[in-house]
Amino acid sequence: MSDDMGVIVKTMARATIPLIGIFGAYVVSHGHLTPGGGFQGGATIAGAGVLFLIAFGLSEMKKRYDKHLYSALEGVGGLVFLGAAMLGLGTAFFYNTLWHNGPVFNGDPGTLLSAGYLPIMNLAVGLKVFTGLVSAMVGIALYRRWKS
């Protein structure tokens, strides 16, 4: 029994998965400028992964999904988030010290390289949410107590 969908769904998924991924990356990277942010953009990119899973089936997903890599990336996202929060530990936890007196991310408000640690946190949280949701989806799809 094949667990993938028909050729129409697969062709449409091939066309739309890159667009969904690009839109999610835009939402994450412009999180401090436009509506959205790490959580929302990460969930959008995870939607592309879910579309891949249900369009191409679990056997195709198993080839491209590396459990150890995704677990490590989720941990790295959380640790980068904590590290960015600890950058201003000289004043307080969660103090935005990169803004106003940092070497990078110190541009005018409204430009991409501004807002101190906000872009770093957005990227970290987006990575964490994306890998976590994809891991959860693959875990749910792998869970079959019955025999086919």
Partner 1 sequence: MKRTLAFLSLLFVLGALLYISNPEYGLKFGLGGEDWKNLRYTDDYYITHGVEEVGGTNIVTDIVFDYRGYDTLGEATVLFTAIAGAVALLRPWRRDEE
Structure tokens at 137: 């989806």
Query: In terms of CB distance, is 63 or 144 closer to partner 1?
Result: 144
Question: Number of helices (H) and strands (E), helices first, in the chain?
Answer: 6, 0
59 contacts 52 by C-beta, under 8 angstroms: no
Looking at residue 51, what DSSP letter applies? H
Phi, psi of 127, rounded to the nearest 5 degrees: -60, -40
Query: In terms of CB distance, is 23 or 39 closer to partner 1?
Result: 39
Rounded to 5°, the CA angle 89-95-100 comes to 115
Looking at residue 116, what DSSP letter applies? T
Length of the chain in terms of residues written: 148
Find the shortest distance in angstroms from Cβ 132 to partner 1.
4
Query: In terms of CB distance, is 44 or 96 closer to partner 1?
Result: 96
Query: In terms of CB distance, is 103 or 109 closer to partner 1?
Result: 109
68 binds partner 1 per the rule CB under 8 A: no
142 binds partner 1 per the rule CB under 8 A: yes
Helices 7-29 and 38-56 cross at an angle (nearest 10°) of: 170
Phi, psi of 14, rounded to the nearest 5 degrees: -60, -35
127 binds partner 1 per the rule CB under 8 A: no
74 binds partner 1 per the rule CB under 8 A: yes
Find the shortest distance in angstroms from Cβ 6 to partner 1.
28
Find the shortest distance in angstroms from Cβ 101 to partner 1.
12
For binding to partner 1 (CB under 8 A), which residues are involved? 31-37, 39, 71, 74, 78, 81-82, 85, 93-94, 96, 99-100, 109-110, 114-118, 121-122, 125, 128-129, 132-133, 135-136, 139-140, 142-145
